[in-house]
């Protein structure tokens, strides 16, 4: 059903488009309801502008609607940037359909930009916090602290995903070349260097800890073992990190991805090229890596204070 107060020049093409989505695109009832809600709001916006047919709509009308959504100027709830982008996608679809059906001479929504959602920088530990975390992982006696220190050192040294690191076998790290082969998403492999701290931690684990842990199991090539002699799971590795973060007194939530973010951030802060970091992280596109190059407010203030002649007074 469409709004009975809409002019036929809006109501009929809206009804036809919803039927197209239901029959030809096979959208679910819930998705159709969302389209009906979003496009009904848009059609009422057009009506308030005096538009009674789709071929009267101009690009400026669609652009104005983006502002209406963001500010709630039509009396409905104001939407976030992401929700506005979703509603605008429905509008684009309707206009594209109308143009393809010959109802309009052009597509007034084709060039209207979606609002940018604020991208948060990934949380990264400072170098000092990372050192405290790694020290805390190895606190205590016995094979488990040696394993935990080696695990976290390797995560931070390589920037590997938790699944990649717990998936390593002993043969993957005993080549002696100072590099490691990680198997990432889609079974894509990449070779990454391993720092001296991580190599020393892994060597200590292999010499003094892995054999006692393996004695409880049935034999496995896995590098990192649990206390039953089986491969350490992702969940257990996560618990290792959480326990180390608690012992280190870190107040921010720390996840395995935090170490990955920290690896990338510290490399770029040290002058590494973003494309090198892309290869090390195993990102398919450099765009994914570039989030780490976004300038933070603290960096802006530091550069401004150092460079602007009237910054300090």
Which residues form the catalytic set?
A: 161, 185, 257, 260, 283, 292
Q: Which residues pair with 189 in a beta bridge?
A: 183
Long-range contacts of 204-208 (CB under 8 A, 24+ apart): 204/146, 204/149, 204/150, 205/143, 205/146, 205/147, 205/149, 205/150, 206/170, 206/173, 206/174, 208/143, 208/146
Residue 11 makes CB contacts below 8 A (sequence gap 6+) with 2, 3, 4, 43
Instruction: Give how far the C-alpha of residue 124 lies from the chain's centroid of Cα atoms, to the nearest Å.
Output: 14
Report the distance separating Cα 245 and Cα 311, nearest Å: 38
Beta strand ranges found along 185-237 (DSSP E): 189-193
Q: Dihedral through CA 133, CA 134, CA 138, CA 140, nearest 10?
A: -20
> DSSP state, 231?
B
Please state, in angstroms and rounded to a whole number, the distance separating the CA atoms of residues 281 and 184.
9
- Contact criterion met (CB below 8 Å) for 193 and 169: no
Sign of the dihedral defined by the CA atoms of residues 9, 10, 13, 15, in that order: negative
Q: What is the DSSP letter of 115?
A: P
């Amino acid at each position: 059903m469409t709004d009975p107060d809409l002019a036929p020049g809006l109501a009929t093409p809206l009804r036809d488009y919803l039927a197209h989505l239901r029959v030809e695109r096979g959208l679910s009832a819930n998705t159709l309801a969302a389209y009906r809600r979003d496009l009904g709001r848009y059609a009422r916006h057009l009506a308030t502008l005096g538009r009674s047919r789709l071929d009267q709509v101009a690009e400026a009308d669609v652009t104005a609607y983006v502002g209406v959504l963001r500010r709630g100027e039509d009396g409905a709830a104001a939407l976030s940037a992401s929700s506005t982008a979703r509603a605008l996608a429905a509008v684009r679809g309707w206009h594209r359909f109308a143009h393809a059906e010959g109802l309009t001479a052009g597509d007034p929504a084709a060039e209207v930009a979606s609002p940018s959602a604020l991208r948060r920088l990934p949380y990264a530990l400072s170098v000092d916090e990372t050192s405290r975390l790694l020290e805390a992982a190895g606190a205590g006696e016995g094979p488990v602290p040696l394993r935990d220190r080696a695990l976290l050192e390797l995560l931070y040294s390589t920037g590997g995903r938790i699944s990649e690191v717990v998936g390593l076998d002993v043969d993957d790290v005993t080549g002696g070349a100072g590099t490691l082969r990680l198997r990432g998403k889609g079974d894509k492999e990449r070779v990454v260097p391993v720092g001296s701290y991580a190599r020393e931690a892994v060597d200590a684990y292999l010499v003094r800890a892995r054999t006692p842990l393996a004695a409880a199991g049935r034999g496995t090539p896995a590098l990192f073992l649990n206390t039953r002699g089986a491969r350490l799971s992702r969940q257990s590795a996560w618990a290792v990190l959480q326990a180390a973060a608690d012992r280190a007194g870190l107040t921010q939530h720390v996840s395995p991805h935090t170490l990955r973010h920290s690896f990338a951030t510290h490399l770029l802060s040290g002058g590494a090229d973003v494309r090198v970091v892309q290869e090390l992280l195993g990102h398919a596109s450099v765009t994914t890596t570039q989030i780490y190059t976004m300038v933070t407010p603290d960096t802006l203030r530091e550069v401004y204070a150092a460079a602007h002649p009237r910054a300090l007074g």
